[in-house]
Structure 1
Amino acid sequence: MKKIYFVLVFTFFNLLTSNAQVVGTEVGDIAPEIDLPDTKGNNVLLSSLRGELVLVDFWASWCGPSIKEQPELIKLYNTYPDKFSIYSVSMDTKKPLWLAAIAKQKLPWTQVSDLKYWKSPVVGDYMLQSVPLNFLIDKNGIIMAKNIHGNALNEMVKSLLTPQ
Structure 2
Amino acid sequence: LIYIFEVTDINRKLYEETIILLLLMTAVVGRAQTSLDLLPVGTEAPDFTITDSKTGKKIFQLSDKKTQKDKDGKTVPGVWTVLDFWASWCPDCRRDMPMVKAIYDKYNTKIQVVGVSFDTDEAKMKKYLGDNQYSWLQYCEFKKWKETKISKDYHISWIPTSYLINPEGKVAFSTVKAEEMMKKLDSLDQAGALKPAQVQTALKKVYNESIDPMAQIDEALAKAKKNGKFVICQVGGNWCPWCLKFADFVEKDAAVNKMVNDHFEYIHVNYNRRKTAGDAAVKKAEQLMKRLNNPQRFGFPVFVVLDETGKVLHIQDSSFLEEGKGYNEEKVLRFLKSWTPQAIKG
TM-score (norm 2): 0.38
**Structure 2 residue 122 is matched with structure 1 residue 95:** yes
Cα distance, 1:151–1:122 mapped onto 2, change above 3 Å:
closer
Q: Give the Å deviation of 1:42.
A: 4.8
CA contact (8 A) 1:46 1:87 kept: no
| Alignment root-mean-square deviation, CA | 2.1
* Equivalence for 1:49: 65
Note if 1:33 corresponds to 2:60: no
Q: Does structure 2 retain, via aligned residues, the 8 Å contact 1:31–1:143?
A: yes
Instruction: Tell me the amino acid that sits aligned with residue 133 of structure 1.
Output: T
Which residue does 1:134 correspond to in 2? 162
Does residue 66 in structure 1 map to residue 93 in structure 2? yes
Q: 1:145 aligns with which of 173, 178, 203?
A: 173
Moved more, 28-37 or 144-153: 144-153
Task: Give SS of 2:113's match.
Answer: strand
In 1: Cα distance, 2:118 partner to 2:52 partner: 13
Judged with a 3 Å threshold, the aligned counterparts in structure 2 of structure 1 residues 136 and 38 are, in CA distance, closer, same or farther, namely farther
Distance change >3 Å, CA 29–CA 126, structure 1 → 2: same
How far residue 144 of structure 1 moved from its aligned partner, in angstroms, is 1.2
Write the deviation string for residues 61-110 of structure 1: whole angstroms up to 9, x where unpaired: 10011111111111121112211121111101111111111112211211
Amino acid at match of 2:161: L
Task: Name the CA shift for 1:38/1:157 in 2 (closer, same or farther; >3 Å).
Answer: farther
The offset of 1:33, in angstroms, is 0.7
| Aligned pair partner of 1:115 in 136, 142, 145 | 142
Identity of aligned residues (%): 26
- Bigger fraction of residues in helix: 2
State the 1:55 CA deviation. Answer: 1.0
Contact residue 70 and residue 105 of structure 1 kept, 8 A? no
Distance in 2 between residues matched to 1:61 and 1:154, nearest whole Å: 21
Runs of 4+ in 1 over 3 A off after TM superposition: 36-43
Larger displacement relative to structure 2 (147-156 or 112-121): 147-156
Structure 1: segments with no counterpart, 5+ residues: 1-23
Match status 1:156 vs 2:184: yes
- When the two structures are superposed, what TM-score results if normalisation uses the length of structure 1? 0.76
**Cα deviation 1:109-158 (Å, max 9, x = unaligned):** 11011101221211211122221111111111111111252432222101
Greater relative contact order, per chain length (Cα 8 Å cut-off, separation 6+): 1
Distance 1:62 1:49 in 2: 30
* Partner Cα separation in structure 1 for residue 167 and residue 106 of structure 2: 18
Q: Cα distance 1:151–1:116, how it changes in 2: closer, same or farther (>3 A)?
A: closer
Distance 2:158 2:180 in 1: 20
Q: Which residue type is aligned with residue 43 of structure 2?
A: D
Aligned length: 141
Distance of 1:141 and 1:113 partners within structure 2: 20
